Amino acid sequence: DQQVKQNSPSLSVQEGRISILNCDYTNSMFDYFLWYKKYPAEGPTFLISISSIKDKNEDGRFTVFLNKSAKHLSLHIVPSQPGDSAVYFCAASAGLGGSYIPTFGRGTSLIVHP
Amino acid sequence: GAGVSQSPSNKVTEKGKDVELRCDPISGHTALYWYRQSLGQGLEFLIYFQGNSAPDKSGLPSDRFSAERTGGSVSTLTIQRTQQEDSAVYLCASSPTRGPYNEQFFGPGTRLTVL
């Protein structure tokens, strides 16, 4: 039973356009969310995070939006660049009363075409 | 600075053999995690070490899997009597402090192939 779901296994976007990667979760105890990016033959690297007390966090071209009532978050990349082509993992963790161990989704493979 | 390192990078073994995978976390990081990623799957949690506390082994799939962390630093994941379904990329990650609000720093992984 997946608590963190990334329902789109892949996404293809033209360079310069917006990439939107989606993530849904089921556990209402989750209060911290992270996005990781993974290139082939490398480990995931941290990209951006958001606490449940916020609904938006921005870092350069990357913005994460959180909709707690819908248990949904999304990562926006604007403008998309070919170097952004990678697998993106959504992760969630629970603080007070929860586990310290992040739960990961299955990832979405983003391809940005020149 | 040095990141998380893992060795070997690739391991091919025969079914039934034991394997040991090593992880060197970032110096000073107190939390250490093991995950595995099977083909087409997400990151599956295996085990978590935090300082001198008893490890959280709730993700280990069977008693053939075990891990230890010596001196609060290097960790070894051991898989006994390997099976073909153990084939996966095994990833180690470390975090600087206890708690869920920290990013994890991942190593490059060990790709295990069981023939």
Domain extent for B66: 5-98+108-114
Tokens of A97: 């009363």
Type and span of the H or E element at B30: none
Count up the domains in chain B and report the number: 1
CA-to-CA distance for B13 and A98, rounded, in angstroms? 38
**Pairwise CB contact (< 8 Å): A46 & B33:** no
**Pairwise CB contact (< 8 Å): B91 & A42:** no
**Residue-wise pLDDT tens digits, A61-90:** 999 999 999 999 999 999 999 999 999 999
Residue B60 within a domain: yes
**Residue-wise pLDDT tens digits, B67-106:** 999 887 999 999 999 999 999 999 999 998 766 677 899 9
**Residues 33 to 92 of A: which have CB under 8 A from any B CB?**
34, 36, 41-46, 49, 51, 89, 91
Residue B66 within a domain: yes
**Residues 30 to 59 of B: which have CB under 8 A from any A CB?**
31, 33, 35, 40-43, 45, 48, 50, 56, 59
Q: What is the mean pLDDT of the segment spanning A42-48?
A: 95
Closest by Cα among A86, A89, A112, A114 to A102: A89
> Which among B31, B91, B98 is the nearest to A43, CB-wise?
B91
Q: B5 CB near a chain A CB, below 8 Å?
A: no
Closest chain A residue to the Cα of B47, Cα to Cα? A101
Closest chain A residue to the Cα of B92, Cα to Cα? A43
**Domain at A4-113, CATH class:** mainly beta
Concatenated DSSP letters of chain A: --SEE---SEEEEETTS-EEEEEEE--TT--EEEEEEE-TTS--EEEEEEETT-SEEEETTEEEEEETTTTEEEEEESS--GGG-EEEEEEEE--TTS-SS-EE---EEEEEE-
How far, in whole angstroms, is CA A113 from its chain's centroid?
A: 20
Residue whose entry in the numeric block shows the structure tokens 């060197």: B24
Sorted by where each begins, the domain ranges of chain A are 4-113
Closest by Cα among A38, A15, A12 to A111: A12
CATH number of residue B68's parent domain: 2.60.40.10
